[in-house]
Amino acid sequence: MLAGKSDPVAMLPQGRTRDVIAVVAGVSARTLDKSRAIASKADEKTKEKLRKNETTIDKEYQKLKRIEKQPHCS
């Protein structure tokens, strides 16, 4: 480190990456987790509704969980 200069790493937020990203995004870490699940499992129609603010992350996440809990027909 240069004399008289502050440590640039000390200025970065510390903690779990998920938590740091959530703070930067302005949401909770749990909401970030829900959005990841939606991004990987939801259809484009659902994602478009979220982009247009016609629904919420929590509402769509709950729908996803209900669908996942349904027994699969063989």
4-60 tens-digit pLDDT: 677 766 666 667 888 888 888 899 999 999 999 999 999 999 999 999 999 999 999
pLDDT per position as a tens digit, 49-67? 999 999 999 999 999 999 9
Q: Yes or no: say if 46 and 60 are a contact pair by the CB < 8 Å rule.
A: yes
- Residue 27: what pLDDT? 92
Percentages helix, strand, coil for the chain (3-state, rounded to 5) are 65, 0, 35
Q: 26 in a domain, yes or no? A: no
Q: 13 in a domain, yes or no? A: no
Q: 50 in a domain, yes or no? A: yes
**Counted domains in the chain:** 1
- Residue 18: what pLDDT? 86
Q: Yes or no: say if 38 and 46 are a contact pair by the CB < 8 Å rule.
A: yes
Return left, alpha or beta for 48; rule: phi > 0 is left, psi -120 to 50 is alpha, else beta.
alpha
Q: 30 in a domain, yes or no? A: no
Q: 7 in a domain, yes or no? A: no
Stronger pLDDT, 64 or 73, i.e. the higher one: 64
Domain assignment of residue 53, given as a range: 43-68
- Residue 45: what pLDDT? 97
